């Protein structure tokens, strides 16, 4: 763990410093469990997997047609034809068990094992069939349409290296090698809660001064993943004693606690002090907008991430800090966010001092060029604009605004909901 990095009154921790500090501090979980691949989507493969078979296991036909020995055809000029006698059928799953001699062919279906003495499969559209024979032009290319054994994966080849987050294609690959069980890292136990005396749940009626708690629904959606076990701890009042009890208790049986609100400098912001009392504060206050009061630390063995209160700040800091931190803790390989240059169609206001993530709508024109416009209001409570956005426009610390037509960096959002 690095030394605690408190910002000075004039300075804020840079995004890079904060990321580096989290990267150095967080060690991946080490516990591994063996599970069936039917439960493995979205889990993190912990042990490299090799294939105990060649895929495909035998040579097979790439299309429906006829298999024969091309080398055994009599030499001929381009204008002539070849005629072969059909002596049987090779079905997918039911190989031809006879002997295939020169001058003969077998009817073969896609995926069927190619008889040993055959070296060519000719497509059924390319032959004429009559009285148990086929005829085709001698000029057709031979030695085609056979998938060699092991042409996808060789025997003992590494199928998937670890760590790897498993998607549908990985599961198909494992299944094709006959691997039904694999080792994955255990799930992360994550708890989250909202702080704020003004918050009420959507099930209740608002009184003057109250607002609905949207952050818990935001976090619940963001945290939804096959390798997370998520606990919603509800809304917690702005009372240091209750906060401390909750944190100390939740820390004993979770890997990570995430809170929202109460990390700023207001009179009702108790999260940071409470963390410092019952755990350890690693950093607070970053040069980022939205999300400046982000707080990171730990309570015993449990990581603590205090997100700001405003929903847009919660979302942006989740994307920028929480997601990579959880990936690392889960044992997954680090991923780099895709950044693209796009022409800005709006004027963007900004003052120097913090890196900004403005909410944008990225579009691509017919010639492939990218442009971006503001998704709407850029205040950190304006969730409607955030909900319309399909990218974040990244404006660096020193940037003092963008004029129409200038190029900006954008980070497209995941297209998954």
Q: Helical H runs in 267-393?
A: 271-278, 311-317, 323-330, 383-388
Contacts by residues 97-100 (CB-CB < 8 Å, ≥ 24 positions apart): 100/67, 100/68, 100/69
User: What are phi and psi for residue 335, nearest 5 degrees?
Assistant: -120, 150
Residue 196 is a binding residue for Mg ion (CB under 5 A)? yes
Residue 199 is a binding residue for ligand AMP (CB under 6 A)? yes
Q: Is the dihedral of CA 333, 157, 176, 118 positive or negative?
A: positive
Q: List Cβ neighbours of 322 (8 Å cut-off, separation of 6 or more).
A: 222, 258, 305, 307
User: What are phi and psi for residue 337, nearest 5 degrees?
Assistant: -70, 140
Residue 198 is a binding residue for ligand AMP (CB under 6 A)? yes
Candidate residues 260, 285, 317, 371; the one interacting with ligand AMP per rule CB under 6 A: 260
Count other Cβ atoms within 10 Å, centred on residue 142.
16
Contact mark string toward ligand AMP, 153..192, x via CB under 6 A:
----------------------------------------
Nearer to ligand AMP, 266 or 341 (CB): 266
- Regarding beta strands 104-108 and 60-61, do their DSSP bridges make them parallel or antiparallel, or are they unpaired? unpaired
Nearer to ligand AMP, 151 or 264 (CB): 264
Contact mark string toward Mg ion, 147..176, x via CB under 5 A:
------------------------------
The Cα–Cα gap between 219 and 318 comes to 8
Nearer to ligand AMP, 114 or 258 (CB): 258
- Which residue is it, tokens 């209750």? 242
Residues 294-333 that bind ligand AMP (CB under 6 A): 308-311
Candidate residues 21, 60, 145, 215; the one interacting with ligand AMP per rule CB under 6 A: 215
Closest residue to ligand AMP using C-beta atoms? 309
Residue 261 is a binding residue for Mg ion (CB under 5 A)? yes
Footprint of ligand AMP (CB under 6 A): 194, 196, 198-199, 211, 213-215, 260-262, 264, 266, 269, 308-311
Interface residue list for Mg ion (CB under 5 A): 196, 261-262, 309
């Amino acid at each position: 763990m690095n030394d605690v990095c408190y910002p000075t009154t004039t300075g804020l921790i840079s995004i890079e410093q904060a990321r580096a500090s989290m990267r150095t501090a967080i060690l991946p979980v080490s516990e591994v469990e063996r599970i069936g691949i039917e439960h493995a989507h979205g889990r993190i493969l912990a042990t490299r997997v090799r294939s105990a078979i060649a895929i495909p296991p035998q040579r097979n036909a790439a299309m429906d047609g006829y298999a024969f020995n091309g080398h055994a055809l009599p030499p001929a000029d381009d204008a002539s034809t070849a005629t072969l006698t059909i002596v049987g059928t090779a079905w997918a799953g039911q190989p031809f068990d006879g002997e295939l001699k020169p001058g003969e062919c077998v009817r073969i279906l896609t995926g069927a094992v190619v008889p040993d003495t055959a070296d060519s499969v000719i497509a059924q559209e390319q032959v004429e069939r009559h009285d148990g024979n086929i005829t085709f032009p001698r000029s057709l290319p031979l030695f085609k349409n056979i998938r060699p054994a092991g042409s996808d994966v060789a025997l003992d080849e590494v199928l998937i290296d670890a760590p790897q987050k498993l998607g549908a294609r990985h599961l198909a690959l494992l299944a094709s090698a006959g691997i039904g069980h694999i080792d994955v890292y255990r799930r992360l136990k994550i708890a989250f809660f909202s702080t704020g005396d003004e918050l009420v749940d959507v099930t209740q009626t608002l009184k003057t001064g109250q607002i609905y708690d949207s952050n818990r629904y935001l976090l619940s959606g963001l945290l939804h993943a096959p390798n997370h076990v998520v606990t919603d701890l509800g809304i917690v009042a702005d009372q240091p004693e209750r906060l401390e009890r909750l944190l100390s208790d939740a820390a004993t049986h979770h890997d990570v606690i995430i809170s929202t609100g109460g990390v700023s400098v207001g009179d009702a912001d108790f999260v940071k002090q409470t963390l410092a009392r019952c755990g350890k504060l690693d950093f607070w206050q970053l040069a980022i907008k939205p999300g400046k009061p982000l707080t990171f630390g730990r309570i015993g063995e449990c990581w603590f991430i205090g997100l700001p209160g405003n929903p847009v700040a919660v979302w942006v800091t989740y994307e920028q800090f929480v997601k990579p931190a959880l990936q690392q803790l889960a044992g997954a390989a680090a991923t780099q966010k895709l950044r693209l240059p796009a022409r800005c169609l709006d004027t963007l206001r900004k003052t120097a001092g913090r890196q900004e993530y403005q909410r944008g709508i990225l579009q691509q024109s017919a010639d492939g060029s990218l442009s971006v416009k503001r998704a709407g209001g850029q205040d950190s409570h304006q969730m409607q604009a955030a909900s319309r956005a399909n990218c974040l426009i990244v404006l660096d610390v020193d940037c003092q605004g963008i004029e129409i037509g200038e190029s900006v960096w954008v980070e497209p959002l995941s297209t998954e909901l």
